[in-house]
Amino acid sequence: MKLALHGYGKMGKEVERLALERGWSICARIDLTQPPCTPEQCAQADAVIHFASANGMLDDLKYWGNLQKPLVIGTTGWYNSLSDVQSIQQQYNIGIVYAANFSLGVNLFYAILRTAGTLINRFHEYDVFIHEYHHKDKADSPSGTALSIGKLLLNTIERKKELLTETSHGKIHPHQLHITSTRGGTVIGTHIVTFDSFADTIEIMHAAKNRSGFALGALLAAEWIKDKKGLFTFEDIMNELF
């Protein structure tokens, strides 16, 4: 496959490294630190992997849509604009797959938590809360992954109705699911879900060791989406693998 990398930071470089190991090639790199991509270079791409700023992402999608290129969106912080992304996909009739986290391990983590939430739903003695750690340069908080976990648990634990994503200066109401965040150092990403009762505590954690898991998932998504039309999530791919 020939890939265009829209965003050439740490994630873009890791995607490139693993793509080259597979024998794939990079036909275009788009970043503020790179020379502009020529139309000829962009036209060669079998798929585009977008790990860049959420600012301007809709314009990026229109650019690639005009070239009829399928996209993998690993960028986070844009989910309030999902309806706009849907409109762009329909307007250009292209394939788009997105996820808050393309790590295979994180998506297995989601599957485990879906089962755990269904079990905990039966036992009102247990409260649930989420904490996540990321490096000091991460732009969004809470992480897209933490929000995805929160929504997953809202769907499986009936007594939880609302995500609380800011610091609480008072009592947490029983219907609220609190998500807290820490930013510092060089932590790639750690997410901890805690189920706590008066008698014991159950913790389920995913800790990324490096960026390879995210990059591998993005490459898998690029291979999967290249001949498809429509708007998909990485969960659609994982469901096929399951």
Cβ-in-10-Å burial (0-12, 13-18, 19+) of 56 comes to exposed
Q: What's the pLDDT score for residue 76? A: 84
What percent of the chain has a predicted confidence (pLDDT) above 70?
Answer: 100
Whether 138 is catalytic is: yes
pLDDT-based confidence at residue 140 (cuts at 50, 70, 90)? confident
* Its pTM surpasses 0.75: yes
Q: What's the pLDDT score for residue 139? A: 84
Q: What's the pLDDT score for residue 115? A: 97
Q: For residue 79, is pLDDT > 90? A: no
Q: What's the pLDDT score for residue 206? A: 97
pLDDT-based confidence at residue 100 (cuts at 50, 70, 90)? confident
pLDDT in tens, 20-29: 999 999 999 9
- In degrees rounded to 5, what are phi and psi of residue 208? -75, 135
Q: For residue 97, is pLDDT > 80? A: yes
Q: What's the pLDDT score for residue 239? A: 87
- φ/ψ bin of 120: left (φ > 0), alpha (ψ from -120 to 50), beta (otherwise): alpha
Pair 135, 183: CB distance under 8 Å: yes
User: Going from the N-terminus, what domains does the chain have, and what CATH number goes with each?
Assistant: 2-102+212-241 (3.40.50.720), 104-207 (3.30.360.10)
Strands 47-50 and 2-6: parallel
**Residues linked to residue 3 through DSSP beta bridges, in sequence order:** 26, 47
**Residue 100, SS3?**
coil
pLDDT in tens, 27-71: 999 998 877 788 899 999 999 999 998 899 999 999 999 999 999
Pair 97, 123: CB distance under 8 Å: no
Task: Given the residues 131, 138, 191, 206, select the one marked as catalytic.
Answer: 138
Task: Given the residues 134, 160, 178, 206, select the one marked as catalytic.
Answer: 134
User: Who has greater pLDDT, 203 or 100?
Assistant: 203
Could you give the strand order of the β-sheet that contains 95-98, starting from the edge strand earlier in sequence? 25-30, 2-6, 47-50, 71-73, 95-98, 230-233
Q: For residue 122, is pLDDT > 80? A: yes
Whether 171 is catalytic is: no
Mean of the per-residue pLDDT values for the chain?
94
Q: At what angle do helices 10-21 and 212-225 cross, to 10 degrees?
A: 70
Q: What's the pLDDT score for residue 77? A: 83
